[in-house]
Amino acid sequence: MVNWNQLQNATTPDSKPTPGWLFNEIIRDVRNSPKDTPDVAEYLMQCVCSDQLNIQLKGVLCIKHIAMEDVTFQNYLLACPGALKILEDIAAPPIVPQARAIEPQEVRTVRDATKTALEAIRTPHSVEKSTA
């Protein structure tokens, strides 16, 4: 069973970074509870859609770390075109080039993190990695 307190702690609105050990605990929980994958993905996508950039960033980072380590979670997100579209929209650069110059660093950070999350979702797991 997934420890929802850990997921909530990993996606708090404060500006403190989520510690690596917490990502590892969440990954372990998701890997051990594949039936919770849809609920975890839904929760994290709600974070990604938040108006608060810190919550958005932390949701994206959770998705990235889980997708890199858990093939069930990765495959679930690959099968969700709506979630992928949202992530692609966030990862896309501003349409007007001048907007990049005035864009806050926090927005750029979320966009860059979202690009790496999409890469993690779309990069197939190797046999060596899954047995490690």
How is domain 4-131 classified at the CATH fold level?
1.25.40
The region that residue 34 occupies, defined by phi over 0 for left and psi between -120 and 50 for alpha, beta otherwise, is alpha
Q: Please give the Cα distance from 127 to 62 (Å, whole number).
A: 23
Burial class (CB in 10 A: 0-12, 13-18, 19+), 87: buried
Q: Please give the Cα distance from 103 to 122 (Å, whole number).
A: 27
DSSP 75-123: HHHHT-HHHHHHHHHHHSPPSSHHHHHH--HHHHHHHHHHHHHHHHHHS
Q: Please give the Cα distance from 46 to 55 (Å, whole number).
A: 9
pLDDT in tens, 70-85: 999 999 999 999 999 9
pLDDT at 88 over 60: yes
pLDDT in tens, 104-130: 899 999 999 999 999 999 999 876 554
**Separation of CA 12 from chain center:** 14
Q: Please give the Cα distance from 68 to 16 (Å, whole number).
A: 22
pLDDT in tens, 10-58: 999 999 999 999 999 999 999 999 999 999 999 999 999 999 999 999 9
Residue 132, pLDDT score: 46
For the entire predicted model, the pTM comes to 0.91
